[in-house]
Structure formats: structure tokens, C-alpha cells
Amino acid sequence: MNVAMLLSGGVDSSVALRLLQQQGHDVTAFYLKIWLEDELSFLGECPWEEDLHFARRVCEQAGVNLEVISLQREYHQKVVSWAIDELRAGRTPSPDVLCNQHIKFGAFLDILEDRLTPTFDKVASGHYARVRAVEPTPNVEPPVEYELLKGIDPVKDQTYFLYQLNQEQLSRCLFLLGGYPKAEVRKMAEDMALVNCRRKDSQGICFLGKIQYDEFVRAHLGERPGDIKNIETGEVLGSHAGHWFYTIGQRKGLGLGGGPWYVVAKSCEHNVVWISHREHFADHQRDRFSIPTPHWIGGALDPGRHRVDVRIRHSPQVARAELVVPSRAVEPIHIRLEEADPGVAAGQAAVIYQGEKCLGGGQIQPSAQFLSVD
């Protein structure tokens, strides 16, 4: 096949590129330029130049052409602006979910479609996930032909960030690493003598590079000093620079003695961060929430109750849960976890699984009640 390879300069995508070559595909590598160099330049030296440097060296070593595609405007419109609005509203966004949906397998696919020559059969990446072709499901529009499956390495599995992909996008995706554990990918990089084989994995949100998350938030939202209060007593225990720097379940960064203390709620209107001591923390854990507008990869589950696994953060662990699908598709779906969780945060992505298959998911809306089926 003729394959477009999304190359980041990291080890994973570099190994994926070489695997494509070993399989006999014609490969063109693409580096997506999404950094916000103008508005973030004051934060220091550009942290993405090193990524592009390694991407170029990997391509030179492999004898593959590398093209740099600028998607800065699209990224700012589709991902960054949305994330800032979510933070301002007191919610916890998952920007990498939208990056995959709207940029890597959205705007980039649109660019490839606009090319008359060459045409690309697939878009490959270094994600730890798998796509499986299945027999089309009868009486379903559009027909379900592809499933998204977990990567076999539970620590590296990245389906949490891919759950918003649709059937058309999955039909074009080629995930080379979903069947490998990370340790084996590292070993392959060394065996291939890749120039970046010892390079550390990137951490955090994809567009930030080495920029600290708080610095990025401060650059866009500034500071708004407010009180940190004990939710049990109402006592003011400290101050904060803005509620958007905190999320539910957070422990670090509070700067308070006598802890540990945990963030259990936020008031955007009054700019208050509510905390609770470890002794009372369990009282504020949640086991119920709703997803107002779920995205289903292969069609919605039938109305009724279903046993599923749920992730509410990128983690190897999944939580057992009961999912209620209402009879009316316009209504939210409701999830009840078998064990309450301290980090159920509004706006955060909740991703639903049955076994190794990712069914879809959506943004969390905390729910005081677990509604019954019609």
C-alpha cells in the first residue's frame, strides 16, 4: 500500500515507520506542525525543534521523504480554544482526544484527500491500539465494518484518546504497535539502530512539548485569586491563583500543611476551590455520572442495562460498571461504577469497553441520581 506515516520524532512512530518498510509498503512521512510558536514564544525556547530534528534524522536514516504540514490554525480552533473554554467553565478537558479526532485523523485526512497524486491507502501512526475489520452489521446505518481494540500493553494502550474516531476514520487508520508491548518496541528500536532509540517518551498534552501545563493555562486565562476552603467546616485554609488550575481528586500543588488534602469540588461563580482531608475524602467519591452526548464507534448499545468496563482517565486500570441506555437516543446514558472513584470530574472523558473492544464514550456530567430505564 501507499501509506502516510505520522511521525513525531519519538521512538514509537519511528519504529512504526520501519515496520511499514519491512512489510513492503511505500511510505511518506509527515510531521504535523501544530505548536503555537507565536503566542507561546515568550515561555522560552521552542520545545518542538528537537522533535522535528529527530523526525528528519529518522527519515534520512530510513531513506523516506518527510513533509512538514502546518495545522496550527486548525489546532487552535478545534482543540486549544475548546480546552481553554472548558477550563474557564470549571471542567476538565482531554485535549488529546480532540487532537486525534479533528487533527491527526481529521484535518490531516482532509489534506490527503485534496491531493490528486499520490493517493494514500492508509494513515499510520505510533499509537498503541488495534483496528479490526468485521463483517458489516446488517440494518445499521452507516454499516459497522471496523472495531477499535485495546493495545495488548495495558500501560501503553491509547484507545482512551481514540474513542471519538468514527467508521470512516478507522477505515483509514493503521496502528502498527497495538500488538506489541512497549519493552519490545524499545528493543526493536535498538535492533534497528534508530538514531532516537534511547530518547525518552514524551509526557503530557501533545502540543505543549516541554511547556508546563500550568504555564500554558496561565498564558491564556491569567490568574484569578480565590479561597481554598474546607468543605466540611467552610474554613478558609489558603488561597489559589484560579480555579482552572485544579481538578477533582487533585492532591499535589495545594501548598497546605496538615494534609493530605484533596480537591473535591469547585465553584466557578465564587472562584472557590473546596478541599477535604483524607479522613473525609471517601465521603466525596462518586460512583454515578452521565454522558449527555455519547459517541458510539460501532452503533449504540440497545436500550437497557449493560455490564461494561469504564476508564475515566488514561490508566491501565478499568472500572467495572453498569451502563443504562435509555429508550430515547436523545437522552443521556448513565453509568454506575461498582466502586466509587475520587476523580470523577465534569468534562473529563469517560471511555466504555466490553472486553478488549472500545465501544465509545463521552464527556462526564456528574449525576446525583442513577436514572432507571424507561
Neighbours of 252 (CB within 10 A): 6
For residues 339 and 357, state if they share a domain: yes
Max CA distance (Å), the chain: 67
Residue 369 in this model has a pLDDT that exceeds 50? no
Residues identified as active-site: 99, 206
Q: For residues 87 and 36, what is the distance between their CA atoms, to the nearest angstrom?
A: 18
Q: What pLDDT, on the 0 to 100 scale, is given for residue 373?
A: 31
Q: How many other CB atoms sit within 10 Å of the CB of residue 125?
A: 24
The pLDDT tens digits of the residues spanning 111-146 come to 998 875 668 999 999 999 999 999 877 666 667 899
Tens of pLDDT, residue by residue over 39-83, are: 555 455 555 778 889 999 999 999 999 999 999 889 989 998 999
- Residue 354 belongs to what domain range? 285-366
In CATH, what number is assigned to the domain containing residue 164?
Answer: 3.40.50.620
pLDDT at 211: 62
Same domain, 141 and 67: yes
Is 208 contained in some domain? no
Q: Considering the domain boundaries, does residue 372 fall inside one?
A: no
312 and 278, same structural domain?
no
Query: In the predicted model, is pLDDT for residue 279 greater than 80?
Result: yes
| Sheet order of strands, 173-175 included | 66-70, 26-33, 2-6, 122-125, 173-175
pLDDT band of 344, cuts 50, 70, 90: very high
Polymer length in residues for the chain:
374
Judge whether 224 and 270 are in contact, CB under 8 Å: no
- The angle formed by the CA atoms of residues 28, 106 and 163, to the nearest 5 degrees, is 110
Residue 303's pLDDT is what? 94
Q: Which residues of 93-110 are buried (b: 16+ CB within 10 A; e: fewer)?
A: bbbbbbbbbbbbbbbbbe
State yes or no: pLDDT of 34 exceeds 90: no
- State which amino acid sits at residue 308: V
Instruction: Return the percentage of the chain with pLDDT > 70, whole number.
Output: 89
**What is the pLDDT, as a whole number, of residue 214?**
85
Contact between 321 and 338 under an 8 Å Cβ cutoff? The reply is: yes
User: Tens of pLDDT along 85-119?
Assistant: 999 999 999 999 999 999 999 999 999 988 756 68
205 domain residue, yes or no? no
DSSP state of 262: E
Residues 119 and 235 placed together within one structural domain of the fold: no
pLDDT at 370: 38
**Mean residue pLDDT across the chain:** 89
Bridge partners of 275, per DSSP, are 230, 263
What's the whole-number mean pLDDT along residues 339-364? 95
Cell 487552535, residue located: 76
In a domain? residue 22: yes
Residue 335 reports pLDDT greater than 60: yes
pLDDT digits (tens, 9 = 90+) for 167-212: 999 999 999 999 999 999 999 999 999 999 988 876 555 555 556 7
Q: What CA–CA distance (Å, rounded) separates 360 from 309?
A: 11
Spatial separation of the C-alpha atoms in residues 56 and 142, rounded to whole Å: 40
Same domain, 269 and 303: no
Q: How many domains does the chain have?
A: 3
The answer to whether residues 102 and 179 belong to one domain is: yes
How large is the average pLDDT for residues 281-291? 91
